[in-house]
Amino acid sequence: MALIAVGVNHEHASLDFLERATVPEHEWSKVLRSLVSHRNIHEAVFLSTCLRTEVIADIDFFHGAIEDVTNTLANATGIDAVEFADVLSVHFDRGVVAHLMRVAAGLHSLVPGEFEILGQLRRALELADEEHTAGAELRELFHRAVATGRRVRAETAIARGTTSFAFAAVALALEELGDELAGADVTVVGAGQLGTGVVKALVGLKPAVGRVTVLNRSRERAAELVRAVGDARVVLAEFDQLADRVAGSRLAIVAIETPTPVLTRADLAGATGPVLVIDLGIPRAIESTVAELAGVRRLDMETLRSRIDRVLDERHEAIDEARRLVDADVERFVADRRARGAAGIVRELREHFDDVIDAELRRRVGDLAAFDEGQRAIVESIVRSAVAKLAHRPTVNLKETAGTDHGVRLADATRALFGL
């Protein structure tokens, strides 16, 4: 079996395409079940964020698996499979290990070193475990990737400064509004990981904002966020008050997953003053036409992406160091995987030889009847030593080539030759 990663991301696809390709988390289980229903796919983990929709799987045949995964993504998103052809990102075996570890390290993130991806990877694996679609191979890979991500952030400067979409969004707002944020009313829509990060960034902002109103479809989750932040400026509002709250704010940041916009042009037509709205949703959570209203300015992920190029210039050295750490961890994982891959066939081969020797000694026990115990031990020792020498070269070759196409062919040939 082999590893494969197939999907779309912000490095190869437009935000418009990613918007269409995003799969809500409540539908991930259905995607996972569909993936492993294919005979060619043995294990699968599925991840769909605002900037990445991807499948990591343990498979039999490469080309068949690409077709199976693409068709599954097409069914889940309603996008014709043909449209994926020009934007699909594909990695195989060792490339999957390198890819996932780089993703976990934040090297493939819009904001280099952002930490949200670690939680997203953990959640994707947890759901695959719940659906029984992740086995030992993918569990080990994801655990190692997350560990690499933590190591990179601890040992390099990649995580200094703006390290998340949330902080990048607040930094963008500060850049746009400056001192106007001092004492300003701010509305945050969303109480998930991204919304939580936005609220925490806002309460630590200088100049200090005034009131931060949190709204979320689940009132309980919004209330938990307000309690967790523990700042008197952070208050709760009902979700049906969304339009009024945003219209009366100087800044509104929307960070929720929604199939259709939650803020429309009509909602903001009655804004009492100038308002900056930042849409962190993919699909878009705020109608683009709100920007046509007087006093309303709308920024989204496209704006955020263009501003983040500055961060890249500041972190070239840290990014290079992070890549070196990831490359070292990839080598260790591949070496460990090779050892694990060889262990099974080598054990089977040795057990087979031991069984043959034991059976032959039992069969020839009459021929050895004239020997005393010491002489029989010498004969057995000579036989076992000779067989061990014959088995040495095949064993070494199996270990050295494990995890490669050549190794797979050798393992298959060994099983065929010795009936394993």
Both 116 and 187 in a single domain? Answer: no
Q: State whether 281 and 388 are in the same domain.
A: no
Domain residues for 190? 167-309
Give me the pLDDT at residue 43, please: 94
Q: pLDDT at position 24, please?
A: 86
User: Is residue 318 a part of any domain in this protein?
Assistant: no
Q: Is 87 among the domain residues?
A: yes
Q: Clarify whether residues 151 and 199 are in a common domain.
A: no
The answer to the question of residue 319 being in a domain is no
Residues 419 and 316: their CA atoms lie apart, in Å, by: 55
Q: Which amino acid, one-letter code, is at 348? A: E
CATH code for the domain in which residue 295 is found: 3.40.50.720
In this structure, how many other beta carbons lie within 10 angstroms of the beta carbon of residue 335?
12
Domain count of the fold of the chain: 3
Pairing of β 275-279 and β 212-215? unpaired
Question: Which of 136, 161, 186 is the last residue before a domain boundary?
Answer: 161
For residues 155 and 9, membership in a common domain is answered with yes
Q: Which amino acid is at 308?
A: I
Domain assignment of residue 328, yes or no: no
Instruction: Judge contact between 74 and 94, C-beta under 8 A.
Output: no
CA-to-CA distance for 213 and 210, rounded, in angstroms?
A: 10
CB atoms within 10 A of CB 277: 24
* Spatial separation of the C-alpha atoms in residues 275 and 105, rounded to whole Å: 35
Please check whether residues 151 and 190 belong to one and the same domain. no
For the domain that residue 71 is a member of, what is the CATH number?
A: 3.30.460.30
Residue 242 and residue 361 share a domain: no
Is 383 inside any structural domain? yes
Q: What is the pLDDT at residue 315?
A: 67
Q: Decide which of 161, 196, 229 is a domain's last residue.
A: 161
Residues 107 and 17 reside in one and the same domain: yes
> Is the domain of 15 the same as that of 104?
yes
- Report CA-CA distances (Å) from 378 to 154, 273, 366, 392: 58, 98, 16, 21
Token duo for residue 150: 């933590």
Whether residues 23 and 122 fall in one domain: yes
**Which three-class secondary structure state does DSSP give residue 169?**
helix
Cis peptide bond prior to 283, omega within 30° of 0: yes
Q: Between β-strands 89-92 and 2-9, what pairing exists: parallel, antiparallel or unpaired?
A: antiparallel
Tens of pLDDT along the chain (420 residues) come to: 689 999 999 888 887 788 789 898 889 999 999 999 998 999 999 999 878 999 999 998 888 899 999 999 999 999 999 999 889 999 998 999 999 999 999 998 877 788 889 999 999 999 999 999 999 889 999 999 999 999 999 998 887 665 577 888 898 899 899 999 999 999 999 998 788 989 999 999 988 999 999 999 999 999 999 999 999 999 999 999 999 999 999 999 999 888 889 999 999 998 888 999 999 888 889 999 999 999 999 998 888 877 766 656 666 788 889 999 999 999 999 877 776 666 677 788 888 888 888 888 888 888 888 888 888 888 888 888 888 888 888 888 877 777 666 777 777 787 888 887
The pLDDT of residue 60 = 84
Whole-structure pTM value = 0.65
Question: Are 133 and 187 members of one domain?
Answer: no
By annotation, the residues acting in catalysis are 50
Which of residues 161, 177, 198 is at a domain's end? 161
Same structural domain, 289 and 368:
no
- Asked whether the beta carbons of 215 and 237 are under 8 A apart, the reply is yes
| 85 domain residue, yes or no | yes
If asked whether residues 156 and 188 sit together in one domain, one would say no
121 vs 46: CA distance, rounded Å:
9
